[in-house]
Amino acid sequence: MSSHFLLTSALVSVLLTSCIHAADPPQAENLKDLHASHPRLFMHSEDVARLREMVKTDPFMKAWHENLRASGQRMLRQDPIQHKLIGPRLLSQSRTALQRISTLAGLYLIDGDKRFAERARTEMFTAAAFPDWNPSHFLDTAEMSNALGIGYDWLYDFLSPEDRKTIRTGLVKLGLQVGLDGFDKGAWWTQSTHNWSQVCNGGLTVGALAIADEEPAIASRLIALCRRAIKPSMNAFAPDGGFAEGPGYWGYATSYNVFYLAALESALATDFDLNPMPGYAQTGFYRIQSVSPIGKTFNYADAGDGAGSAAQMLYLARIFKQPAFAAHELSRTPQNASIFHMIWYSQLPIENRKSEIENTLPLAAVFRGVNVAFFRSGWNDPNALFVGIKGGDNKANHSHLDLGSFVLDSQGKRFAVDLGGDDYNLPAYFGNKRWTYYRLRTESHNTLTLDGQNQDPKAAAPIVAFTSGKTRSHAVIDLSAGYRAQATKVLRGLAMIGGNRVLVQDEVTASDPVDVRWNFLTPAKIDIQNTTATLTQGSAVLFMRILSPAGASFEVISANPPPPQRQQPDIHNLTVRLPNKTTSTRIAVMISVGREQPAPMDREPLDQWPGR
């Protein structure tokens, strides 16, 4: 073989390599400020010292630490994770690994109890010995990479050189290298703009930073690729902090967004200029507004109504100097707070460690980026009246066909419910059967159904008017695109009046007569008297009256689909039925707290409601 051929081949190889890596910042650029010692993820040695001191002196930290130790004690007796898929997912095992490893390793750093470190090492050894981390569902791989990265970093001084090699080899082989292969092959998740992006890029980056000094080539390249890939998904918070995938997936996405940014901050002393992206600094307010006085969310899209905890709010409170973010989380953090609550709480300024939401926050708020509005009669009152209503976009990830839907809480009870998602393992749940499942269809949401049909899956509904006032706040939503096959114009207005009444007013115009049904799904006991309905849950009571049109009446129908879809026999759909099909109608329903009937009031057409 000639030297000319060898030289040419070598040159081609160099050129190809240069092209592949041309867009990546050089290693010295993105790792030049790498924190030399461990821990470097989310905290440094001085932060560990502060944690140890605060669990002795701070009431929150003391209680959290006691509960976390109890949880760690239980973990010592549990079997390690298994390579066991549920449907196409290993995700439950990845999440169990993250919870266990972070809890046990964190407890070891605080207490020095080697039992916790040894049990975390066992968990990491088990994961590192798996045949794979289920890369076909890459969330599983990313979350496991996050888990092992955290454990490797936090337990670095405890682990022997042989231990580190075992864990590091598994992390690279089963996580980081698989991630790089995905980028090289253009895997769909590398270009996603929803929660998958935050989770995949966040988990991979945490894993890469944990071993960046020992595997600088793979870490440097992966950090650069994830940096570019995560940026489009952070546009999801623009312009005002709302999230189209709903409060449930807001929690998932922002938890990994914060894992990502907090790891960059502690390991590289940078945020890659991502924190200032439009809407991100305000997204904590979306979380605050979406949680009702009884601790349930307006759970549109595939999510349950439990608000859960959000340790990331404590991090966001410090970064964006928003004490309300911390106060909200501290006011409702459950006793089983995570190690991340402890870390990010300990880094807050002392003056931000307050546990009561200030009454300076607005009682009505709109997030125009996702066309969702929230109304409440007060803060720090579990009996306050609360409504969340959405326009939104039926094309959004995890969306249901629910334009115009709302939830309503009063007197400590949820009266108007969103059923949330169904079993992800139902056939073609994310495929061509999605809109056949009851919980995802229009008929199962607190909105209108026309001729019994679903809304258009491609439709979006803007909030066209919004106003916030002392005695009345309201929103008007243009639902026309959702019903384009049945009607020419559909508007919905919802007003909170005086803190104790809610008016829901709908206007439908169609070219041909259409059957209109108004839906209100509720767990309450229902007593109907033609145009009135009394709803009771224990001592909590709502009174509802149909104000228009003439001839309309309440009717209760089942909200329970056939198995194997999820069952809810205790939920019923309180509907308004019109006597006949119509080409033009205005449906107005007044909902009042308590048994007294609402005072009569004039009802202006929705296009005259102010706030445009």
Three-class HEC string of 399-430 = CCCCCCCEEEEECCEEEECCCCCCCCCCCCCC
* Residue with tokens 């509720």, as numbered in its chain: 522
Work out the number of other CB atoms within 10 angstroms of the CB of residue 30: 23
End-to-end Cα spacing for the chain: 77
Amino acid symbol at 411: Q
Residue ranges covered by each domain of the chain: 39-352, 364-608
* Domain 364-608 class, CATH top level: mainly beta
Residues sharing a CB contact under 8 Å with residue 194, sequence separation 6 or more, in sequence order: 233, 236, 244, 245, 249, 253, 396, 397, 398
Amino acid symbol at 95: R
DSSP H or E stretch at residue 553: strand 553-558
Amino acid symbol at 573: N
Q: Please state, in angstroms and as integers, the Cα–Cα distance from residue 418 to each residue in 32, 444, 494, 554, following that order.
A: 49, 8, 17, 20
pLDDT at 14: 34
- Segment-wise mean pLDDT, segments of 10 residues, the chain, 612 residues: 33 35 52 97 98 95 96 98 97 98 98 98 98 98 98 98 98 98 98 97 98 97 97 96 97 98 98 96 98 97 95 97 94 85 95 77 97 96 97 98 98 98 97 98 98 98 97 97 98 96 97 98 97 97 96 96 96 97 97 78 88 87
The structure's pTM equals 0.94
What letter would DSSP give residue 236?
G
Q: What are phi and psi of 374, to 5 degrees?
A: -130, 145
Q: Please state, in angstroms and as integers, the Cα–Cα distance from residue 209 to each residue in 126, 129, 166, 179, 226, following that order.
A: 21, 21, 17, 14, 12
Work out the number of other CB atoms within 10 angstroms of the CB of residue 480: 18
pLDDT at 359: 74
DSSP H or E stretch at residue 474: strand 472-478
Please choose, from the candidates 335, 336, 334, 314, the residue with its C-alpha nearest in 3D space to the C-alpha of residue 324: 314
pLDDT at 394: 98
CATH 1.50.10.100 given to domain 39-352 = yes
CA atoms within 13 A on the CB side of 24: 22
pLDDT at 17: 36
Work out the number of other CB atoms within 10 angstroms of the CB of residue 595: 10
